[in-house]
Each structure stands twice: as structure tokens, then as C-alpha cells.
Amino acid sequence: VFQFRVRMGGRAALGKEMASKKAAQESAAAAWYHDFQRRSGPNEARPSGNPARASTSNPTSAKLQSDGVLVLVDLDNLPDSPLHLRDYMEGAGDRHVISEVLAYATMSFDPSVKPLPEFVTLRRAVSVDNDAADMLMTFEAGEIFAEASSRGKYTGVMVLSKDKFAARLVEILHSRGVRAALITTYMDLKESLAKLSEASKRHT
């Protein structure tokens, strides 16, 4: 039996006892997220990861929209996602629906090997553990929406990952009334962005 306590951003949360390590980690992440949403206000600071633009960026004509879809990328298992996003944004021009792209990776990720497009913000977990980046993504998603909910900046969330943490994150976002989609293959990218955009238009 496994059980984890998460401490981040000055908050702590204890997950449930679970039969597997990964399930226990997911439970702890969910507990922390729900506690944050319940207790924090819109001006709360995000927990400390290691934010940075890629040290070597890949120039592009693609520009982010002032409001639209927030894209969260797991670089560990879908490393080419930023390039596919760039192609979509350049192809769609001003009609694309992306307002922010946060790419998550462990300390083992080297942005100089495969430079990220300029519009991507790299978030690095201070660890080389395979689950560290996904946990940071889950924790920050709660804080991002606490900050942005009053401003209406985001019309939905797209999570590009094959990890179970990402699937759990999307479930949590749905439970909070957030329009969210989980993408596990590059070929689903454009269609899912279009669906998020249409869903947003129907609710405005």
C-alpha cells in the first residue's frame, strides 16, 4: 500500500492509500489541486517549478492570441508537440485559437537539442523522476485557473500527453466545469482545438 503527501506552494495535501505508487501519486495530486481550488484566491502565487523560455529558441511567425485555449504539453512522451502546434498556428494565421503554451519536462530535458518555438514557455520540474513534470503540470493547472478565472483569458484547456496523470488532470478540470481535452496523438490536434473553440463560442 502506498500513500503520498504533497507539499508545494506553501500547501500540503495527503492522498489516499492506494495499491500502486502511481495511483497514490495521482491521489495526492488530486487532493492538493482540490484543496488549492477551495482555499486560494486569484492572486495566489504559483508553486515553484523552474520557468524559462528555452535557452535556444526556434524563431517562428506564429503569435499567441490574447485569449483562447491554454495548451499544456508533456515533453517527456510527446516531444514534437510544440512543432505541431507551430505548424497549426502558422497555417491558421490570425484564426488560430491558442493563447498560451506551457511545456513541462524533467531536468533531463535539453532544449538546445531540439529548440522550442518562441511562443512556448518551458516549465521544468526540479527532478529527473518520470512523473515529476506531470505532477508539476497538475499542480499548476489549478493555480493558473484560479488566477485567470476572473479575467476570462482562457476558453479551454488542451493537454498533450500519454500519461495517466494528464488523464486525471482532465477529469479534474471537467469536474470544475472547465472545457478540457486530452490529446495522445498528434493527428488529433487540429480537430480537438476546433472543438474547444466551437464549444467556447456556444457559451459566450
pLDDT tens, position by position, 13-36: 888 898 887 677 777 777 776 776
pLDDT tens digits, one per residue of 80-131:
999 999 999 999 888 899 999 999 988 778 888 888 999 999 988 766 677 7
- What CATH number should be reported for the domain whose range is 47-202? 3.40.50
Which of these, 82, 34, 38, 28, lies nearest to 60 by C-alpha position?
Answer: 82
The confidence score (pLDDT) of residue 48 equals: 43
CB-side neighbour CA atoms (13 Å) of 182: 16
What's the chain's average pLDDT? 78
The confidence score (pLDDT) of residue 29 equals: 74
Which of these, 77, 82, 89, lies nearest to 103 by C-alpha position?
Answer: 82
The confidence score (pLDDT) of residue 89 equals: 92
CB environment 35-71: b (16+ within 10 A), e (fewer): bbbeebeeebebbebeeeebeeebebebebbebbbbb
Cβ within 8 Å of residue 77, ≥6 positions away:
161, 162, 163
Confidence band (pLDDT; 50, 70, 90) for 190? confident
Question: Ramachandran region of residue 159, left (φ > 0), alpha (ψ -120 to 50) or beta?
Answer: beta
| Cβ atoms 141, 36 nearer than 8 A | no
| Cell of residue 158, nine digits | 488542451
3-state helix, strand, coil in the chain (%, to 5): 40, 25, 35
| Cell of residue 21, nine digits | 505508487
The confidence score (pLDDT) of residue 148 equals: 57
The confidence score (pLDDT) of residue 13 equals: 80
Q: Where are the domains of the chain?
A: 47-202
Verdict on whether the full-model pTM lies above 0.85: no
Q: How far, rounded to the nearest angstrom, does the alpha carbon of residue 173 sit from its chain's CA centroid?
A: 11
Most trustworthy range by pLDDT among 49-63, 69-83, 103-117, 169-183: 69-83
